[in-house]
Amino acid sequence: MRPVRLDGRSLTQRMLVEVAHGAIVELDAGSLKAVARAAEFLAEQVAREEPIYGVSTGFGSNADKLLGARPLRDAKSGRSLHVELQDNLIVTHAVCVGDPFSPEVVRAMMCIRINTLLRGHSGIRVETLQAMAAMLNAGVVPVVPQLGSVGASGDLAPLSHLAIVLIGGGEAFVDGERVSGGEALRRKGLHPVSLSYKEGLALNNGTAQMLACGSLALQRLEELLDTADIAAAMTIDAFAGRLGAFAEEVHALRPHPGQVHAAEHLRQLLDGSTLADIPYHLVPKFRAWTPNAWDDDASRDLSFDIGWDWVPFSARHGREKFYKRFRPFRGGKKHQPQDSYSLRCVPQVHGAVRDAMEQARRVFDVELNSVTDNPLVFPDAQAQHVEEQVISAGHFHGMPLALAMSYVKAAIPVLASISERRLNKLVDPATNDGLPAFLIGNEDGTESGLMIVQYTAAAIVNDLASRAMPASVYSIPTSANAEDHVSMGANEARHVLAMVADLGKVLGLELMTAAQALDLRRDMINAARSLADRADAEAFATKVHGGPLKDDADRARFLAEVDGLRAELADAADFRPGRAVEAAHAAIRMRIAAMDRDRALDGDVAMAVRLVTENVVLDAARAALND
């Protein structure tokens, strides 16, 4: 990967993801000049003994305490109180607990912190910023436990775990090994930094943890939204669904951006499908296999039988016009012009989730190139007093990110829920439009098929829903009530990052189930077409339940109508899904075999999740769309 140049103004989420996954950073020379100017200004003000928050005063509820000229204890140490103040800030604030964040999250945190400090309003020295960039580029990844930030004053505790390694303390991962911070620096030929005026506060006061977690979550959610569209399209093909609900002119009447995007994506994925919008009467329904179900050796290898119910003449009164348009056979598809909501409303639901993601992305784009520490330094401002050049404000408050993440947090279970509903619809014989129960032949009554896959999806959806409560609505004051309203944005973003991973599991289960259903649907229709091609009306009529017939004339009319269905099937081309759906299905089948009989499914389920996690299905569909 090419180096990512940081200048404090042009970092994008995609650039951040590159750094998170290993790209090195370069610091813009022009920005470093602004950094140096702010650091020089602070040094000048300290020499003038000006009272400046976080430089010559304590922090938080200690802001009213001015630093003295020398230590009251241990006067022989020779250590500057200004240096001690910054070091103490870092070592006492690095108190997070829990499992460490992944290296990707920590690298993103470091990148964000470097970028915001490059704006030149934080007072950090050039050499300190360069040392942090060198640590990032060398692959030194501080150990940052996940629990400890309330999202104002920024992510103090987790960012202190970053900074403590920079000064030689704490712990870090280096070349996959967890070692002390000092040892990690030594192994990479780096040296600890001695902090100067305001540098501890500049390093640990900001929104980098919540922004890093949120940005990586959004990047993953974007991929999962495309994957969800693929899963929905495969399910629609498996249902031989109706495409009118996705038409461009339909969505022009309610043009929410995400909805329009999802509808267009579905049209692309389903392009070339001869299963979608198939005439109702051509779709047979499942019947259990029996030894005499088929008339040739090839067909006897099938795991199903098929059939239709014929609508008798006596049941057509008042519906003659309808049966001129549609043949009088009831198979797997009901004669209705609309599918259930979980199919028909995919653009509206997936699109709303996409809109939630895009709103968060807009907020994050602003935050990536914002200054989020405190106080803010304006070295070139025209002012009579230092308070007009070093201004205490609240940019560390994570509420803009927290509320954006709460929107996404609520959207994730919605996307998982509609996926589970489609999965359930596929395995339920009351709703799957003529497919076998739990997508298995089960002629002997011993097989469960994919029954319990739906249980797992339901459990995950419930878990996601129970975690969707916004953390941002519950502030707990800190720092002896000096910080009396906090955002909890770090928890919000951390939750979203974890929830996105679980969303991918639900989508993997739907894809696995939809692939099985698609095989059955296509095989059943094509088996009917094959039989129609080689059989006469009498032979084909064995697949049609005709009911009682009054006389030979009725039987003749019955056989004539059966032969019309037979001829239409015989003349039909091979039935297939959309080209992109077919590519996604093939990617699944390369790793998960179709299920003819019950077998251990733990490996299949794990592989289905992996195919989503590694974007295997997504990449296959995208490649087909780009051909």
Residue 371: count of CB within 10 angstroms of its CB: 20
Name residue 390's beta-bridge partners.
377
Residues 529, 248: contact at Cβ < 8 Å?
A: no
First to last CA, the chain: 26
Residues 273, 573: contact at Cβ < 8 Å?
A: no
Query: Token pair 């009911």 is at which residue?
Result: 547
Pairing of strands 141-142, 97-100: unpaired
**Is the C-alpha dihedral spanning 573, 575, 578, 580 positive or negative?**
negative
- Nearest residue to 84 via CA among 94, 96, 95, 70: 70
53 is catalytic: yes
**Is the C-alpha dihedral spanning 38, 41, 43, 46 positive or negative?**
negative
Residues 20, 12: contact at Cβ < 8 Å?
A: no
Residue 530 Cα distances to 329, 380, 527, 568, 573, angstroms: 18, 83, 5, 12, 10
Q: HSE (CB half, 13 Å, CA atoms) of 417?
A: 15
CA distance 116 to 112: 6
Residues 238, 167: contact at Cβ < 8 Å?
A: no
Burial code of 586-613, b = ≥16 C-beta within 10 A, e = fewer?
A: ebbeeebeebeeeeebeebbeebbebbe
44's tokens: 């000048």
CA distance 309 to 398: 62
Residues 120, 34: contact at Cβ < 8 Å?
A: yes
Query: Token pair 């499992």 is at which residue?
Result: 99
Residue 295: count of CB within 10 angstroms of its CB: 12
Q: Please state the length of the chain.
A: 627
Provide the strand spans (E) within 214-336. 285-287, 305-310, 329-330
Alpha carbon 440 to its chain centroid, in Å, reads 31
Active-site residue, from 53, 197, 280, 407: 53
- Nearest residue to 378 via CA among 393, 388, 389, 365: 389
CA distance 617 to 611: 6
Query: Token pair 């976080």 is at which residue?
Result: 54
CA torsion 95-99-104-110 (nearest 10°) is: 0
CA distance 607 to 618: 14
In sequence order, what are the residues at sequence separation of 6 or more whose Cβ sits closer than 8 angstroms to the Cβ of residue 595?
A: 439, 440, 449, 450, 516, 604
265's tokens: 């994506």
- For the purposes of burial, counting CB atoms within 10 Å of the CB of 22, is it exposed (0-12), middle (13-18) or buried (19 or more)? exposed
121's tokens: 């309003």
Burial code of 436-466, b = ≥16 C-beta within 10 A, e = fewer?
A: bbbbbbbbeeebebbeebbebbbebbeebee
Catalytically active residues, by annotation: 53
